[in-house]
Structures are given as structure tokens and as C-alpha cells.
Amino acid sequence: MIEDVRGGDISLVAVDVGGTITDLIAVHTAGLTALKVPSTPHEPEKGVLDAISGAGASGATVVHGSTVATNAILERKGSRTAFIGTEGFSDIIEIGRQERPDLYTLAVTKPRPLAGKPLRFEAPERVTAGGTVLKELTRKDARELSRAVARSGARSAAVCLLFSFERPEHEEMISEELAALGIETSLSCRILPEYREYERASTTLINAYIAPVMGEYLDRLESSLRDGGKRGGLRLMHSAGGTVSARLARSRPADLILSGPAGGAIAARWLAGSLGIDKAVSFDMGGTSTDVSLIDQGLTITRDTRISGLPVALPMVDIHTIGAGGGSIAFLDRAGVLKVGPESAGADPGPACYGRGKSPTVTDANVSLGRLEPAWFLGGTMPLFPDRSAGALKELAYGRNAVKVAEAILEIALSHTEGAVKKISLERGHDPRDCALIAFGGAGPMHACELAQRLEMPRVIVPVHPGLFSSVGMLLAEPGRDHTRSILCVLDEKSVGALSRSLEELRSQATTEMRKEGFKGVLSFRTSLDMRYRGQSHEVSVPAPRMDLQEIRVHFEQAFASEFGYSRPDQEIEVVNMRLSCRAPRQESPLQASPPTVQSRGEPLAEKEMHFDGRPCTGRVYSRWDIVPSRPVSGPALIVQDDTTTVVPPGWRASVDMMGNLELEASS
């Protein structure tokens, strides 16, 4: 799929920044080339620029997956942010909903709001659910409120007034006054114009909290790209699987929370479709985290995502993320129980085997079990120090056998990833035994077979360049983003006409935005409606290609029955929200469903001792490019390449398909 071809002009570059490694794929007129450089967590743009410079890609259009927004929330390193609500409702961000995330936890700890009590303000106004103004906000009130916000030291402000999606004038007035004082604003009528005040407030506050951080990051990145030579375009991968310009990314940075993982999910969907696979699980294990998503004839888009316990109701690819990666640190808790993650050794200092850190990690466990070959790590360009791994593991276990400790660490890490896959499959009515496992990321192929064995998944697929697979998804992503509008009406002949008018307004808004972005071709639109039976509090999303009453009703009954196992044909149906996904066609994909051109040597590189199921055994080490369709490999074996190592346990067999992907199956 990706041949390391240099030469010719570079037209497009995809850069994915991970916690440990920054990946790049450059599209040349002569083909594709791949590059990996260390990430720079304290200066994330430096890793991006190092990769672009190393590829000689100055002046190319850059598609970028960023972790800056995510990390700012997880580490609470966003800007000092004020929250402005309607009079009497400023504490909504702390009250939230009366939900119990864990039924059996008696002492529930709620996430700390991003705006503390001194940073919450109230606007003397009130609008009803129908859009009637009960209490008008005056210009004087808005000005005094804005001055109070400025005195608080807030650099950014989130404005979320009751039912502002019906009457946005009050939010707009406050925004004008805040802007005059140099305070950035995020308005709920623009960020998430739909009902449910808590989710709307939380999403708007998150957007305001990260807006200055993301703005500064994009400014530095764009400035450096200009300084590096010819000016190229910069597009950001967003969480719903499309790309937007840096200008649009600044206006709604909360869209970027799952920026990098979305690229991997898009690539996995493309690969599954290319192989004719309807159901699969994408398994992206990197240095810091593991991301899993379900592919069921396509990807699921959700609007029920939480980050650091806080709801974000923007459309995102349904990805479940856990803090389990190659760099996850193993430690003993206060009771002396072995734990793994979520803290990671990251890129600096990294696992103990990198030669700088001292903390034992999942990577160190793999080294001690013989599942990494030091001479071939990152294609032999980066030395590993097995003695440091063994020393760190022994110190963790007070001098006990390093192999036993390593086995326990991997058991815990696999248990975490198993739980993540069950979360997006079994808990949602999907049997993982019906799914293939598409494994990628630097650490995914190392653990894929044992994970599949635990879940009785019949097949593991490792793409040609698994360590760069999220960057592949960024090349495949289409430009565009999603739009929403709150409707709240009973579905009948009269409301269908209003729905048609709302759809035309949304299409016009989306088209105008895309034309400003410079896309002049034919745009594609996908429309859906959030619907429920009257009296219910939760909705199902229903595709609505046409505003036809009977067609919409049939689609809803089918979707509801599929979700809940029953339907109520005689009950009234409510439409809650209208959603429109707008995409521009991407350039013709540079990725071809064909294997790379390589010269097979036909023989293993080496033999080495490995450990599986508590027993030592002798396994073979193969180069990825020495495995051809006519010559499968039986475990125990390691298959090494520049960007990852694939572990083939005893009882498993690896072969290569006609696209160059590794296919692994249990041989017994």
C-alpha cells in the first residue's frame, strides 16, 4: 500500500502526532513515502515540523491530526475561562445530571467543572422554550456583565443562555461586549444549537476552555510552515472523520478532541471495505493509549462522548479510548497490587529499554519476554537496552524474576484492552466472534493475536504499514463538517414542510461555508433526524435522505426496533434535532489496493528465545517483506518491520494477502 518512494513534487502530507511518535506520509508524484520522528509533548508543533522537514515537504498541503485539544482538557491546561448562564442557571455545569456512572460506587466523585464558582456569571434575561422573550437583556446589562468577566481575569468565556438556539440575540450581544474587552467567546447558539442545557453548556465551555490554546498552537504551526519556504495549506482532522481548515478549526476547536484516533478509524473502515469485510473492530494501540471502534458496514457517529468525565455533544466517530499503550507504566499501588497505566512514560524519557527512563512499562515487559527484537526496533535505527528492562522489572517486584513480572504486566494490559473491545461490541449487542480485528499502531500488532484469542475473534488483519495507519486515514478523509439544528416538533404532514425548509437552510449554510473554503465542486450531503416516541427522553438517529412523511416514519420504526427490540406504530413520533453532514470530494486517493514491491529473501533473520503462557520456547524472526502469499509463517514468531513488530504466538499462523496485509488465524 505504501512504497517508500522519494522524488518528484510533494502535493499532500498527512501528519499524526501520538504521545510517543509523530507519523508522516507524503504523497509524491512518484509515489508515497513514510517517516517517523519522536513526538515533542512540550512543543507539539516541533514534532510536526521535524517530520515535514525530514520529508522535504515544504509547501505541500498538510492534513494534521492533533492531540493538543485532548491533552489540554485531560491535563487541565486550558485557559482561565468564565461561564455565563441565564440568571439562576449558572451552576448547571456543576449540577449536571443525576446519573450514576457506576451503580455500585457509593461515594461518587463528579468531575471538577472547568469554570469554578468565581468564574460563573449570570445574565439578567429569560427566553421561553417557544422563543418568547420574557426578560429582555439590555445593552447596559451586557456591558456591565462583560466588565465583571474581565475583572475576573478570564481570557475566554462560554455563553450558554436558556433556549438561545431559538433566540440567539442575547448571546450575540454579550459576545460583542466581551470582544470589545479582548475576551474570546464561544456561544452555544453557534457551537451546539440544540436543546438539553447541560450538554450544550458543557460542550460550549470545553470549546471556550481550549480555544486560546488551540489558537496559539495553530498560529505557531502556520507561522512556522510559512517560514519554512513556500506556503502550503493546513487542514485539521476532526472527530467526525472529515477535515477542516485551520480557520474553521479555530472557531470550533472542540471538534478536534478525537482528531488523531478518527484517522485510524477511517483507515480501518477503508481497509475493511477493500477486503469485503462487513464487521470488524479497529484496534489502535500506540505508546500512550488504545483506541477501539466498531465497523458495522461503516462507522458509527455518536454525540454522547465524554472526555475527563465531561460530556461533549458534538458528532464524533464512536471510539472508546483507554490509557493502555506500550509506554503505560507498571507500578504497585498502596496495597501492593500491580497496576498498569494510565500514566505513560511517553516519548521522553520513554520506557526503561530506551535508555533514558527508569519506569517499567508494557514495552519493557515485551522486551523481557523476547517479543521485541532489539536489533530490528524501528528498522534498526533505535537501540534498545534489554538489561535496563530487566532491571526495572526486578526493582518493581523487589528482585523477583523479571519474566514473571513481565507476564503479569502483559496480562493486565490485555485485560484492559479486552474490556475496551467488549465496551464497543458486546455491551452494544454485537458479538466480537463475528468480527475481524484490524490491528495497527506501534503496539497493536504485538498484542492482537492474544487479544483476539481472548474474545474468540477468528481473524486478525495487520495493514502494510500499521504504525502509520492513522495518517493513512487522514489521506482518505473528505473535507467538510457537520451541522445541526434543534426542531422539537411532532412528525405530521404540517411539520414535514417545516422540516424541508430547515433542511434547505442548513444546506445553504453548509454550502456557503464550503465555498468560502475554496471547494467549488459538487458537495455531498447526508441528513439524519433525532427522533423518539412522544413522552420519551432519549432519541434514535434516523437517516432521512428525503423529507417524506411515510419514509421517515418507516425508517424510525426500523431504527427503534433495532435498538430496543419493539416498536409502537400507533404512538405519536417527535423530531428533536436535524443533522446535516456536508463533504467535498477529496482528491483521488493515492492509496492502491496492491502490495508494495519488495524482494523476498525467503529465510528467517534469526532465532531467539520467547515466552508464551509461562513457558520458554524458541521462535523465529522474519522480515515483513520476506513473507509472501505462498509461504505462511507459523508461531512462535516475530515479524519485524520499520514501524512495528507483529507477534505470532504458538498455535497461530500468519500469511499475506494480495494487498500485502498480514492475515493471522489460529491454526488449531
Residue 514: band (very low, low, confident or very high) from pLDDT cuts 50, 70, 90: very high
Averaged pLDDT of the chain: 89
Which residues pair with residue 317 across a beta bridge? Answer: 301
Kindly tell me the burial class for residue 507, based on how many C-beta atoms sit within 10 Å of its own C-beta (0-12, 13-18, 19 or more).
middle
Instruction: Give the per-residue pLDDT at 418.
Output: 96
- What secondary structure, in 3-state letters, does 279-343 show? EEEEEEECCCCEEEEEEECCECEECCEEECCEEECCCEECEEEECCCCCEEEEECCCCCEEEEEE
Give the count of beta carbons closer than 10 Å to the beta carbon of residue 662.
Answer: 24
* Amino acid 587: pLDDT: 62
Contacts of 402 (CB under 8 A, 6+ apart): 368, 389, 390, 393, 394
C-alpha grid cell for residue 501? 425548509
Confidence class for position 1, pLDDT limits 50, 70, 90: very low
Which of the four pLDDT bands, split at 50, 70 and 90, describes residue 187? very high
pLDDT of amino acid 292: 95
pLDDT digits (tens, 9 = 90+) for 526-544: 999 999 999 898 899 999 9
Residue 442: burial class (beta carbons within 10 Å; 0-12, 13-18, 19+): buried
The letter for the amino acid at 366 is N
Q: With 50 as the cut, is the pLDDT of residue 505 above it? A: yes
Render pLDDT for 299-336 as a digit per residue (tens, 0 to 9).
Answer: 888 888 888 889 999 999 999 988 888 999 999 988 88
In whole angstroms, give the CA distance from residue 347 to residue 169. Answer: 48
Average pLDDT in the 641-655 region?
93
pLDDT tens readout for residues 416-453? 999 999 999 998 889 999 999 999 998 999 999 999 99
- What per-residue confidence (pLDDT) applies to 177? 97
Cα separation, 662 vs 646, whole angstroms: 9
State whether the Cα torsion 559-563-565-566 is positive or negative: negative
pTM higher than 0.85: yes
pLDDT digits (tens, 9 = 90+) for 448-495: 999 999 999 999 999 988 988 999 899 899 999 999 999 889 999 999
Please, are residues 453 and 656 in contact by the beta-carbon 8 Å criterion?
no
Grid coordinates in use for 611? 515466552
pLDDT in tens, 61-86: 899 998 888 888 888 889 999 999 99
pLDDT in tens, 155-175: 999 999 999 999 999 999 999
- CA dist 289 and 274 (Å) reads 27
Residue 229 confidence (pLDDT): 53
Whether omega for the bond prior to residue 253 falls within 30 degrees of 0, making it cis, is: no
Categorise residue 177: left if φ over 0, alpha if ψ from -120 to 50, beta otherwise.
alpha
Q: Is 76 buried (19+), middle (13-18) or exposed (0-12) by CB count in 10 A?
A: exposed
At residue 585, the pLDDT reads 86
441: CB partners within 8 A, 6+ apart: 264, 283, 284, 285, 286, 290, 325, 466, 467, 469, 470, 644
Q: How confident is the model at residue 5 (pLDDT cuts 50, 70, 90)?
A: very low
pLDDT attached to residue 107: 80
Q: Is the pLDDT of residue 254 over 80?
A: yes
Sorting pLDDT into bands at 50, 70 and 90, what band is 178?
A: very high
Q: How far apart are the first and last CA of the chain?
A: 30
The pLDDT confidence band at residue 525, using thresholds 50, 70 and 90, is very high
The two beta strands, 524-533 and 279-285, are unpaired
**pLDDT-above-70 percentage for the chain:** 94
Tens-place pLDDT, residues 378-390? 777 788 999 999 9
Model confidence at 574, in pLDDT bands (50, 70, 90)? very high
Is the pLDDT score of 568 beyond 50?
yes
Predicted local confidence at residue 308, as pLDDT: 83
* pLDDT, position 597: 53
User: How would residue 593 be classed by pLDDT, with cut points 50, 70 and 90?
Assistant: very low
32-58 per-position pLDDT tens digit:
788 888 888 788 888 888 888 887 777
